[in-house]
Amino acid sequence: MIDVVSVSLMRRSDKKTAEKVSEKELMYRAGRAVFELLPVSDSYAVVCGKGNNGGDGYVVAELLYNAGRRVTVYNTADLTTETAGYYLQKCLQCGVNVVSYTDQSFEETVIVDCIFGIGFHGAPTGKEAEAIKKINKSGSYIVSVDINSGLDANNGLTELCVISDLTVAIQAPKPGHYLNSAKDVIKKLTTIDIGIETDGETYKLCEADDFRSVFPHRQNNSHKGTYGTAVLLGGCREYSGAVKLANTSLSALKCGCGISRLAVHESIADYAAPYLLESTLCPLRSFDDTELAKAFDKAAAVGLGMGFGREDDRVNAVKYALKNLSCPLLIDADGLYALSKLDYKANGNVIITPHAAEFARLSGKTTDEVLSDTIGLSVSYAKEHNVTVLLKGASTVITDGERVFIVDRGTPGMATAGSGDVLSGIITGINSQNPTDLCLNAACGAFIAGYAGELAAKEKNVISMTASDTVSNIHKAVSLIINS
């Protein structure tokens, strides 16, 4: 797992490290590391703002000049911090061309973006906004230092920011390198270590080998019952997505459960049956307690809510599941709508999988508030309700209120009907065979779905791929994990 550090933690860590290593030395280390990553070119522009991020740029410019490269520094502000000012004077003393930015267009073939650092939030204005627009129009190779100027380092939101070919995170990536708009404005991300000691708990970006423990070693002397029955409860009379329900059930099987049982209202059972090959079908006359007990019988894990509808008896179904199930329970889609009607605290065996609008309804926040504080609100909700929250987005945030995992796998092609149902099936299938760590299971499910989606996009394209294309690549994602 890769440490991901909030802005507040990075500032605290930076300050503590500066008690042992001077701020000038840390700034030089950052600038030197960025300099060593720059492509060889015939001309460079280093665009500097008024803060320490600008100071990193002055270090880069001095090193470029001393290496015999043609470089111009463009200042968007006259003021600098004391440490940044030290390196600005070094640039001037050695002969670097330093000019004030007005509204020039950039003709240099490499641009180093050092306008705003990780403390920025809001919308750029004035010279900085004009410089960002001109950088993006330049056609040059663009390197952003620490964070793309104009991109919020805590949440990845932006109204206007630099679109980089390479972003160089200093010491550790920040949440804003992954969330919301980050993937659309950062083509490549790398991290440089300058010796800052992290002073607190970090979030974790997940990689394939982090999930090897999720899939237990399988003995030859085993059978389908060994790996649990995954029950997927969804569908309603008004719901015609039989194929999506079948994909949900198949996803659970492809992630290792021994038996996948699809429980649906009897009125749609005949529609779902032709699409079920390996899964079993459990038609229900209603969603009352007696029928629900039949659906959940001997379940090792349950996924509930996909295409469920929003009638009153769905609220009863969610209430029943919360009260009576001791096995892992995943609640998604219409199940989350029913959950929003309940005042509840779970027993620690529940995963909820909302997108931002669904989570806004659950938490009583606006969607904008959720996007602005994705991690903080997820952690608070998980603690308050004793659940694992998997909040869907361009990157996925998973938390049990203590740990925070980030999964950055996925593709725009997954913005299609049924992708969430596939994810629910994957996680429920994982839970059925290994219920020991639901937070890690949920992160693993997000990784598998995202990686399988990426493979599907390569086979088809992001326009034409469907959720079933993701399902057909689940086995490759599982193989990546168990062979890592």
Q: What is the pTM of this model?
A: 0.95
H or E segment and range at residue 422:
helix 419-433
Domain edges within the chain:
2-199, 208-482
Q: Between the ranges 82-91, 233-242, 266-275, where is the mean pLDDT highest? A: 82-91
H or E segment and range at residue 371:
helix 367-372
Q: How many CB atoms lie within 10 A of CB 204?
A: 18
Angle CA 169–31–9, to nearest 5 = 40
Helices (H) and strands (E) in the chain, counts: 18, 18
Domain 2-199, CATH class in plain words: alpha beta
Indicate the average pLDDT of the chain: 94
Q: Are 449 and 425 in contact (CB under 8 A)?
A: no
In this prediction, residues 221-249 reach a mean pLDDT of 81
Sign of CA dihedral 455, 447, 215, 244: negative
- Dihedral, CA of residue 431, residue 437, residue 442 and residue 444, to nearest 10: -90
Please name the residue ranges forming H helices in 23-171. Answer: 23-37, 52-66, 82-94, 126-137
What the block records as the tokens of 162 is 């630099």
Of the chain, the percentage scoring pLDDT greater than 70 comes to 99
The pair phi, psi for residue 154, each rounded to 5°, is -90, -30
Q: What is the pLDDT of residue 242?
A: 66
What the block records as the tokens of 296 is 């959940």
96-110, 158-172, 236-250, range with the lowest pLDDT: 236-250
* Residue 351, helix vs strand vs coil: strand
E-strand ranges in 131-227 read: 141-145, 166-170, 189-192, 203-205
Angle CA 214–215–220, to nearest 5 = 155
Question: How far is 416 from 410, CA to CA, in rounded Å?
Answer: 12
Nearest of 320, 338, 351 to residue 430 by alpha carbon: 351
Sorted by sequence, the CB contacts under 8 Å of residue 30 that are 6+ apart come out as: 56, 59, 145, 146, 170, 192, 194
Strand order in the sheet with 259-265: 2-4, 203-205, 404-407, 396-399, 388-391, 350-352, 329-331, 301-306, 229-234, 259-265, 280-284
* Residue 256, helix vs strand vs coil: coil
E-strand ranges in 243-375 read: 259-265, 280-284, 301-306, 329-331, 350-352
Q: Are 330 and 431 in contact (CB under 8 A)?
A: yes
E-strand ranges in 80-207 read: 97-100, 110-114, 141-145, 166-170, 189-192, 203-205
For the stretch 309-344, pLDDT in tens is: 888 899 999 999 999 999 999 999 999 999 999 999
For the stretch 189-228, pLDDT in tens is: 999 999 999 988 999 999 999 999 999 888 898 888 888 9
What the block records as the tokens of 183 is 């993937």
Domain 208-482, CATH class in plain words: alpha beta
483 conformational bin, left if phi > 0, alpha if psi -120 to 50, beta if neither: alpha
180 conformational bin, left if phi > 0, alpha if psi -120 to 50, beta if neither: left
Question: How far is 268 from 475, CA to CA, in rounded Å?
Answer: 29
List Cα–Cα distances, 479 to 1, 318, 454, in angstroms.
19, 34, 15
Q: What is the pLDDT of residue 238?
A: 67
For the stretch 343-397, pLDDT in tens is: 999 999 999 999 999 999 999 999 999 999 999 999 999 999 999 999 999 999 9
Binned at pLDDT 50, 70 and 90, residue 79 comes out as confident
pLDDT at 92 over 80: yes
For the stretch 463-481, pLDDT in tens is: 999 999 999 999 999 999 9
Q: Are 55 and 25 in contact (CB under 8 A)?
A: no
